[in-house]
Amino acid sequence: MYSSIESDEILIKRVKNGDCEAFNPLVERYKLALYKLMYRMVYNRDDAEDLVEEAFIKAYRSISRFEIGRPFYAWLSRLAVNNAINFLRKKKRGHLEPLEWSEHRLVAEKQNPVAMTREKMLKERINKAMAQLPQEYRTILVLRVNDELSYEEISEVLKIPKGTVMSRLARARQRLKEIFKEMEVHKHEM
């Protein structure tokens, strides 16, 4: 059994030496973060869960290529993001349907209807706006803003130069702002 406080580096060294059980704490440590990343890319719970599982298995099978000393989560997210990009290409889902409200949120809404409705509307707008972004803009924003990866890490994950990270992030933010403005216009028209 492995302690959850053992560092990524120690666990990965053990995995590299053939101890596959040392991979289990890594799955436990990063599965939720990776799920959120995948969910924000594909907007579907089942697909996101499948992509997380695939990413961990791919990571284990290519662990020999991982360089000790590098951040494991950045490497893992690169595998997962590339996998998700391929998945989206295959499904031709550049633009996604925003999520529907699940049952537990509907229950909470009943308890405090005014606040929940306002919150719900805002989040719905955010999700709609994000879903309208081109896939490469959505991915880079999620990596930077949600996952708080550095420009260097994003550059490594997406295999693009650091300068491109900066310009793509700027364009993505600009585009998101435009989408929100368009949505405001439609809201007032209605």
Ranges within 96-125 binding another protein (CB under 8 A): 99, 102, 104, 122-123
| Sign of the torsion formed by the C-alpha atoms of 45, 51, 54 and 60 | negative
**C-beta separation of 73 from 33 below 8 A:** yes
Which residue's CB is nearer to another protein, number 82 or number 127? 127
Q: Considering only residues 13, 16, 24, 91, which one is a binding residue for another protein as defined by CB under 8 A? A: 24
Which residue's CB is nearer to another protein, number 54 or number 94? 54
Per-residue x/- mask for another protein, residues 35 to 74, rule CB under 8 A? xx--xx----xx-xx--xx--xx--xx-------------
Question: What tokens does 169 get?
Answer: 């992030």
Q: Is 67 strand, coil or helix?
A: coil
Question: What tokens does 135 get?
Answer: 């896939």
Contacts of 70 by beta carbon, 8 Å cutoff, 6+ apart: none
CA distances from 151 to 30, 70, 162 (A): 20, 15, 6
Of the candidate spans 6-14, 66-74, 83-91, 143-151, the one that interacts with another protein by CB under 8 A turns out to be: 143-151
Q: Which amino acid would we find at residue 164? A: T
Q: How many residues bind another protein (CB under 8 A)?
A: 47
**C-beta separation of 160 from 168 below 8 A:** yes
Minimum distance of another protein from residue 78's CB (angstroms): 18
Minimum distance of another protein from residue 80's CB (angstroms): 13
Find, among 72, 70, 131, the residue nearest to 99 by Cα: 131
Q: Considering only residues 107, 121, 170, 185, which one is a binding residue for another protein as defined by CB under 8 A? A: 170
Find, among 11, 15, 57, 16, the residue nearest to 34 by Cα: 57
Q: Considering only residues 79, 157, 158, 169, which one is a binding residue for another protein as defined by CB under 8 A? A: 169
Which residues contribute to the site for another protein (CB under 8 A)?
Answer: 20-21, 23-24, 27-28, 31-32, 35-36, 39-40, 45-46, 48-49, 52-53, 56-57, 60-61, 99, 102, 104, 122-123, 126-127, 129-130, 141-142, 144-146, 151, 166-167, 169-171, 173-174, 176-177, 180
